[in-house]
Structure 1
Amino acid sequence: MAYILSRAAQYMLQEYNIRSRDPPWDPNSDFASISSDLLYIESQFELGNPVRKLMADNHTGKSTVDLASSGLLVFSRALFYLSHCLLNHPFLLRHRLDISGTRPPATFLARSFDFGRLCAKRLTRHLRDAQMAGCRLNASFYGYCAVVAGAIQALYLHSPDKDVQRESVECVQQTLQTLEESDALTQFSLDTSRFSILTSTEPEIPQLDQVDQEIMWSLVDYSTMSNAVKLTEVYRADFPPTVDTSLYSWLDLFSSEGIVLAEGGNFESQV
């Protein structure tokens, strides 16, 4: 999962073409390849089972909770949902389309945006359920996940579909209640009307001005977010999850110097 997320981050955040410059809907594109890998991984995950049940099954017959294995259960699912959020993020995907210079099929944006919103909701609820199950999620990575998911949902706060709007309000409120502090997401959620055009299924929309583009980038760029939101303290918790440190090399994709792996498997932002 860490490897797949690294590919998604390179493709969507760093504009790096791993295989080709084909448009996302082309079966030979990086987008299609990464999505296919995620579909295979999904078949291996027990996504239908809540985190609490997986943790209980994992600890059956044990006298104490294995923090390392529990952390990996939570971590791997977060990687999975985050990968989909990056691939189907309305702002990032439209930026990718601008790079390819091609007009998408009529249904491509609608399907991608709907799925991205669904994965953002599932990521938000996954983090909430993990906390309720007793996991400590104060690692900066989880704060990043929450902000990315919350920002996607915030784009739909002015949706003409009242059911979508209501669900988005619920998810954004849930994210803000869980986060210890996130000034960027809080301010963004207060005024998203001018950004909602990003969720339109029309292939061509008016370009955001430079300031608004910078706002959107600040909500997906790990380094910027770490400095502005203090992600090391973003979740209410007493101690970080213990996980396999060999999985964290992909974090350099977000920032070459924004974060380091601290002794004991914790993340600390260099601010």
Structure 2
Amino acid sequence: MDLRKRSSSAASTPDKVFLEACDIYFRHCHNKPYGFFNAELFQQQAAKNQVPLHLRLALIATATRYSSRSQWRERKQSTIDSYARCSWELIVTSPNGFDDDDVTVIQALALLAVIDATAGRRRGAWVKIGMAVRISQDLQLMLEPGSGFSNMERDERRHLFWSLYLLDRFVGCSFQRPPAIQDSDCRLNLPTPHYSRNLVPYTTLKGLLDERNRDLSMRPGMFGISIALASVLGRTIKCMMNEADKIEAPWHLESAYRAICTDLEFLKELAVSNSPVLAAPGQARPPHEMQDRDREQIAHMVLSHTLYHLSHCILSHPYLLGLKMQSLSRSDMPPTWLEDTRATCLMHAGSVITVLVEAKAAGYMPVPSVYSYCILVASTIHALYLHSDDMAVGQSSAEYLKTSLEYLGEVSELWTYAQTMASALRSFAVQCGRYSDLLLRDEPLVDELTTTESAVLCSVIDYWAMMDPHNPVFDVAQPRTDGPLDLLDVGPGYLTPPTPGAVGAIPLEAAMSHSPGHKTSDLVDPDILIHYPVSIMSPMASEEGGSPAWDWDSELNAMID
């Protein structure tokens, strides 16, 4: 089949396969968190069959993951990969694929990058993200759109660029993987919520993070706050994982470490003040009456809280702190600074797990694949405390690990590499007796770690490394031991489902994170309690009593012919 000879508008009406794929995509993926499209503009183009073939193929490949159609349940990944390969071939072989002044190639590349990343094709994902970023810069998406674009086109370009920014920051959660987009180049306004577009002014990323203008009355919306937190996460990665030659004592007020902490606390407070308005008891709308904008707000609300806690986990991770402190004089370090910082780190690790697990238990299935990485990072911190002298702390950490393994096992139905992370977590946990002994003492002994042990500790906090099936963490697993690790025997069961009367509530608190025996830092208030109605995010159900709408043996030919 020569895709290059096929026209994107050969038929007068769009095919049923593509339209159903659109329904699935906009239900499960759009603005959760990536908003690659303006929904209204895209629907208009789809109805007129004006969506080019490379983008249709990429969107079907993406939507396939979330469909429950029985015809291809056993060959879901191969179906996804087939569509993705066809889309990629069209892009790279088109004589003018990179010359057209439209954004469809960027949109397709972004979708294909996510597919590659979650399938373990790391270099393919890296290349596609890089291409998408460079093309977006060539089209000047990092600048405010001109008056020649319609309102919907301006909205789409703004959301597309910032979604690329999120994707770029997420895959950059790694050692020696610099981001392709620099904050200083982003002069584009942040996306403003549809419901307040005419009520609040636009703001830029620089304006939102300007320490001279900290105003909690700002209303950038949850998407904008997520972007700002992703920016701070990028600075956290640079500070703790990619600046070995630039050593600043993190307890100094002028250090990058303290500046990041300050920004995180401001953005947390801003996220709380911008979160969806709470419904009065008994007045919450049932899930089927929720608007798309409500679901998208919830998606970014969950993302913003997750990024806040993840940044703190990386900022104060015992291994990364140990690396930093190797070359620092501790003569002026406050007496309780290290103890308080470790307690704060453990608290935030519990909060990451609590936010995502409770969101899922309330009926919201956290879709972004990056959440598996967030759970892993948090769980490795709890793994280090399995052997704590405080039995209550060790028991609490073991329970967190069990919950994390259940979560990863369940989302592996969507993201197969989540199971790889679960295996890595199990392998890591059985080695943590030695790591804990070296890292959790008053004088961390990082230099006593072997090369292999250092590689393992790096790999479990490196998103890029965890996409690699040859991760070193799998090669050094030790025999099982007795003790708290017995709690890691997790079966294929599910996390606690929502009770019938509470399906509309999503408590995002850190109640589980107050570990006995640890102090709470005055800088951090992890208690974020938000109740908001959410919809069940289960896959689109098959039609009962009728033939499935998608014929997965002939749909590709039917779409193109």
Fold agreement, TM-score > 0.5? yes
Identify if the C-alpha distance between structure 1 residues 162 and 10 changes in structure 2 by more than 3 Å, giving closer, same or farther: same
8 A contact 2:322–2:445 mirrored in 1: no
User: Is 1:191–2:431 an aligned residue pair?
Assistant: yes
Q: Which amino acid aligns with 2:468?
A: N
CA distance in 1, matches of 2:443, 2:251: 13
CA distance in 1, matches of 2:271, 2:388: 32
Q: Structure 1 residue 60: deviation in Å?
A: 5.3
Identify if the C-alpha distance between structure 1 residues 81 and 75 changes in structure 2 by more than 3 Å, giving closer, same or farther: same
Deviates more, 1:130-139 or 1:80-89: 130-139
Matches within 5 A, 1:153-168: 153-168=382-397
User: Is 1:176–2:405 an aligned residue pair?
Assistant: yes
Residue 123 of structure 1 corresponds to which residue in structure 2?
A: 352
Q: Structure 1 residue 151: deviation in Å?
A: 0.4
Q: 2:268 aligns with which of 42, 45, 49?
A: 42
Q: Structure 1 residue 183: deviation in Å?
A: 1.0
Q: Structure 1 residue 191: deviation in Å?
A: 2.8
8 A contact 1:91–1:198 mirrored in 2: no
Secondary structure of the residue aligned to 1:119 is: helix
Matches within 5 A, 1:129-168: 129-168=358-397
Task: Give a deviation string over 1:37-87, Cα, whole Å, max 9, x none.
Answer: 11222323439xxx9xx6964995682253321110111111000000000
Q: Which amino acid aligns with 1:212?
A: E
Identify if the C-alpha distance between structure 1 residues 204 and 75 changes in structure 2 by more than 3 Å, giving closer, same or farther: closer
CA distance in 1, matches of 2:291, 2:361: 15
8 A contact 2:377–2:461 mirrored in 1: yes
Q: Which amino acid aligns with 2:305?
A: R
Q: Structure 1 residue 186: deviation in Å?
A: 1.1
Residue 79 of structure 1 corresponds to which residue in structure 2?
A: 307
Q: Structure 1 residue 116: deviation in Å?
A: 0.2
CA distance in 1, matches of 2:336, 2:404: 29
Identify if the C-alpha distance between structure 1 residues 194 and 27 changes in structure 2 by more than 3 Å, giving closer, same or farther: same
Residue 243 of structure 1 corresponds to which residue in structure 2?
A: none
Residue 457 of structure 2 corresponds to which residue in structure 1?
A: 216
8 A contact 2:313–2:345 mirrored in 1: yes
TM-score, scaled relative to structure 1: 0.75
Q: Structure 1 residue 5: deviation in Å?
A: 0.9
CA distance in 2, matches of 1:146, 1:238: 21
TM-score, scaled relative to structure 2: 0.38
Residue 101 of structure 1 corresponds to which residue in structure 2?
A: 328
Task: Give a deviation string over 1:81-124, Cα, whole Å, max 9, x none.
Answer: 000000010001111222x4322443221111110000000111
8 A contact 1:91–1:216 mirrored in 2: yes
Residue 341 of structure 2 corresponds to which residue in structure 1?
A: 112
8 A contact 1:109–1:201 mirrored in 2: no
Secondary structure of the residue aligned to 2:385 is: coil
Q: CA RMSD in A?
A: 2.9
Residue 30 of structure 1 corresponds to which residue in structure 2?
A: 256
8 A contact 2:379–2:400 mirrored in 1: yes
| Greater helix share, structure number | 1
CA distance in 2, matches of 1:80, 1:7: 13
- Which is greater in Rg? 2
Deviates more, 1:199-208 or 1:80-89: 199-208
Q: Which amino acid aligns with 1:35?
A: C
Q: Structure 1: which 5+ runs fail to align?
A: 240-271
Secondary structure of the residue aligned to 2:329 is: coil
Q: Structure 2: which 5+ runs fail to align?
A: 1-228, 410-418, 472-493, 496-536, 540-561
User: Is 1:5–2:224 an aligned residue pair?
Assistant: no
